[in-house]
Amino acid sequence: MKKLLFAMAVCCAVMVQAAAYSYLVFTNTGGTTTGFNVSNLTLTVNGSNLQVTNDEGTVNLVLTDLASMQFSNDGSLEGIGNILEADKPIDIYTPLGAKMGHFNNLMEAVGSLDKGLYVISNGSVTQKIVIQ
């Protein structure tokens, strides 16, 4: 009974925190983001797909292609866009924190990196990326 009450309390806390946001944004492994209005939002796992349904319709997302999911107020991920799209200098690190180098922008860095997981930072925003 205590475990059930604890689980209900955690769910309520997450729902209250999420209520402050208007969109749920998914990022796939290729870096493309898709935002969904949270009005009447439901998420259902259907085989290897995540079915996202809201007032605007239903979309199926392949689970293995999803890299992240987070809430947003405007349907975008501005912090990620600052690194991925802007021509800003960045530092690249391994997941263990070893610095791989300093680059003029992300496109320059991607051309010199092997496949794998990396942490990138432009000084104000930090994010993980996967090079495939």
Query: Could you count the other beta carbons within 10 Å of the beta carbon of residue 93?
Result: 16
For CA atoms 62, 85, 17, 14, the dihedral sign is positive
Q: How confident is the model at residue 118 (pLDDT cuts 50, 70, 90)?
A: confident
pTM of the model: 0.47
Q: Convert the pLDDT of each residue in 73-117 to its tens digit.
A: 765 554 444 455 557 788 988 888 899 999 988 778 877 888 888
Q: How far apart are CA 109 and CA 81, in angstroms?
A: 16
Q: Convert the pLDDT of each residue in 5-50 to its tens digit.
A: 444 443 444 444 455 677 888 888 877 777 788 888 888 888 888 8
The domain limits of the chain are 2-76, 81-131
Euclidean distance between the first and final Cα of the chain, in Å? 46
The amino acid sitting at 24 is L
22 in Cβ contact with 72 (< 8 Å): yes
Q: Which of 74, 76, 47 is nearest to 62 (CA)?
A: 47
Q: Which CATH number fits domain 2-76: 2.30.30, 3.30.420, 2.60.40, 2.40.30?
A: 2.30.30
pLDDT at residue 19 in the model: 59
pLDDT at residue 18 in the model: 54
